Amino acid sequence: MIMLMMPLNDIPYLFGFNIVILALFVGYILWVFGDVYGLPKLSKSPFVKISYLSLVPLVILICGLVILSWSNLENEGRGYVTLGEIGSDHRSDRDLNLRGDYVVGSLIEGSDGNSTVFEVTSDDITISVITSSDIPGRFYSGKCNVFLEGEFNSDNIFWSEELTCVPDDNLGYLLSAYGILWILLFGYMIFNSRKYRELRDILNSCTIVSDL
Amino acid sequence: MRILLLFVVAILLSIDMFLIFMWAPTEVHMGHVQRIFYIHVPSAWIAFLAFGLVFLGSIQYLRTREQKWDNFASASAELGVIFTTLVLVTGPIWAKPVWGIWWTWDVRLTTTLVLWLIYVSYLMVRSYSDNHYQASRYSAVLGIIGVINLPLVYFAVNWWNTQHQRLVLGIGSTEAGLDPDMRTTLYFSLLAFSSLFVWLLWFRVFLKKTEDMVRENTRLGTDQ
Amino acid sequence: MRDFIRPVFVIAWKDIMLELRTKDIVVSALVFALMVIVIFNFALNITPPMVDSLAPGILWLAFAFAGVLAMGRAFITEGDQGSLDGLLLCPVSRDAIFLGKMSSMFLFMVLIESLVLPIFVVLFNFDSISFKLIAIVLLGTLGFATCGTLFSSIAFNLRSREIMLPLLFFPVVTPIIIACVEASLGVITDTVNIIGTGRWIGLISVFDAIFLVLCPWAFGIVMEE
């Protein structure tokens, strides 16, 4: 198992972004295609229309914000490391369930009785690993993906190493990918709304003519 | 009733976004960029589903000549093209930071690209036709040919790749060694996207039905 | 059976006669194919070590582009003269019409290719044309002709027909192009491949078989009035 950490500083913003765009999407659909959904006739005042129709996305937005802040609240404070062994081919994704927990430092009992001590401070990029075990391991730290992989020396030898931060700057790609999703959906809806407006005008004029 | 489906979609998508960003674990090697996976893979599955529906709709249209099947097939094709576009765009966006390359002539990617081209030409045939009846017939034929052609394209590209020992992206291995939490998120994302697809399909078919109504009314008007 | 075969011959013969008089399609497609080979030679900057691996691709590109050009012309003359309507009025099954047009198209393309191949061998310094290569060319051309006739009948009725034919044709014909190029590569260079030439020829045959069944049926639907 693991021992890790990860404050997700930027990901919550991406989550909020997606929720906001989703809310706008639903609001736009209700705005343009309101009569398809049988929304009751509203008074002519645009102010009323806007405030009525924006109720739904606002609800979604509020729920999203609540969830956001709840998950952040959950991650506040300092946690501690769970016990477990560090395998050689270990994937540390299990670790990241302890979101936002900072490792203050603790002792880990290895499976064969060896111990590994490590310490990570919040914004520091220097990680000291003091170990007396033979078990290799790897972990993340802070905002950076710091890989420390390899065999830790054995038998009461302290080993410390300064590591440079290899930042995970790829959130731009993530944002653009989700942005493309929304652009495609919005674009499709705008294309549909244009068609729909034409159709609605024709249908209305048909009824007018037939009423004459 | 109609509005219920829209709200179900909205709620499922919201929960899905939460799972993707706040709940799913971060991948070891790829970092946060891996979260693109949760829209890339469901989109691919939904796109293939859409093209399967085009096939079924085309066959049914040619058998019964009822307009509703043509509406169903063409709406499905439009959505299929949209989701395939999403796959083809998010794929390179994911591949660049992770594997360092924008594109590779991997079997799945190439087959998706050819599929996209076939169905873009399907949509072009529809819009370039003289009348609606002609458009329906031509696109039904194309819908059937497109799907039947797909296995051939897959085998041809697969053997071509083996022959020339091209780079095979480790997409398969990502799926194989999937963390249970990630798998849950993936399946839920699939559910959310499916509901989105169903709603979009219903919506588009509804618009097409309205179009048919208008077309009939106008025709009746000119007949008199 | 005779009722079916005879119209096929008649329609194909009509097209061939027309072509013999005007020499419209074959000459222009032939010149275009030669130009493609020359231009690709310059564009790809072919040096002697690369010739063996690139030559089959250039050959099949020349065939594909020239074929598209030829097929585009197939229905245009028909439609402009109104003879297509006349053809459809005949008490002949649509399959026969399709096979007739496809046969004439196949013959034109084979004629073009039989003139291009020797020039290709000369330009790229190959030893000779083996029978296997001829077989591959024939099979591939059959697939081209089948799909091409169907798609040109579709594209003929659309706006911007010149661009719709390549757009419809090339994605569908991708397996044939890949298979033909790989098979030709195997035959020309005689290398031992992981995927044997036999498998590629098998793929072309399967493609031809499927589309020889599919396209006449689709043609019948396309030609409904």
Residues 6+ apart with CB under 8 A from B143: B54, B55, B57, B58, B73, B77, B122
Q: Identify the closest residue of chain C to B154 by CA–CA distance.
A: C175
Q: Which domain holds residue B126?
A: 37-223
Q: Is residue A133 classed as helix, strand or coil in its secondary structure?
A: coil
- Say whether C175 and B146 touch across the interface (CB within 8 A): no
Closest CA to C175 of B150, A86, A143: B150
Put simply, whether C179 touches B (Cβ < 8 Å) is yes
- B1 inside domain: no
Residue B157 corresponds to which tokens in the numbers above?
Answer: 């590209």
Interface test with C, best of B61, B111, B137, B159 (most C CBs within 10 A): B159
- Is this complex's ipTM strictly greater than 0.85? yes
For chain A, which ranges sit under pLDDT 70? 1-10, 35-58, 60-62, 64-169, 211-212
Cα separation, B52 vs B55, in Å, equals 5
Structural domain includes residue B145: yes
Domains identified in chain B, total number: 1
In a domain, B3, yes or no: no
Identify all chain C residues contacting B158, using CB atoms and an 8 Å cutoff: none
B137-160 pLDDT tens trace: 999 999 999 999 999 999 998 888
**What residues are paired with A161 via a beta bridge?**
A127
Query: Which chain B residues are closer than 8 Å to C207 by Cβ?
Result: 152
Q: Which of residues 27-86 of A touch B (CB under 8 A)?
A: 29-30, 33, 36-39, 56, 60, 63-64, 67-68, 71
The two beta strands, A115-119 and A106-109, are: antiparallel
pTM for the structure as a whole: 0.79
Asked whether C163 and C195 are in contact (CB, 8 A), the reply is no
> For B61-90, how does the pLDDT look when each residue is reduced to its tens digit (9 = 90+)?
999 999 999 999 999 999 999 999 999 999
DSSP state for residue A89 in the 8-state scheme: T
Are B142 and C168 inside 8 Å of each other by CB?
yes
Largest Cα span, chain B: 71
SS3 A87: coil
For residue B193, the cross-strand partners are: none
DSSP B111-155: HHHHHHHHHHHHHHHHHH-SSHHHHHHHHHHHHHHHHHHHHHHHH
Which chain C positions have a beta carbon within 8 Å of B117's beta carbon? 167, 170-171
Q: What is the DSSP string of B158-170?
A: HHHHHHHT----T
- Radius of gyration for chain B, computed over Cα atoms and rounded to the nearest angstrom: 20
* Contact by Cβ (8 Å): C11, C97: yes
pLDDT in tens, chain C (225 residues): 777 788 888 888 988 888 888 888 888 899 999 999 989 888 888 788 888 888 899 999 999 999 999 988 877 777 766 677 777 777 888 888 899 999 999 999 999 999 999 998 888 888 777 888 899 999 999 999 999 999 998 998 888 888 899 999 999 999 999 999 999 988 887 765 666 788 899 999 999 999 999 999 999 998 886
B166: in domain:
yes
Nearest by Cα to A106 from A94, A93, A120, A95: A120
User: Angle between the C94-123 and C24-44 helix axes, to the nearest 10 degrees?
Assistant: 40
Q: Where are the domains of chain A?
A: 11-131
Residue A77 burial (C-beta neighbours within 10 Å; 0-12, 13-18, 19+): exposed
- pLDDT (mean) for B30-40: 83
Specify if B32 maps to a domain: no
CB A94 within 8 A of CB A2: yes
> Which residue bears the tokens 């809310």?
A23
In a domain, B137, yes or no: yes
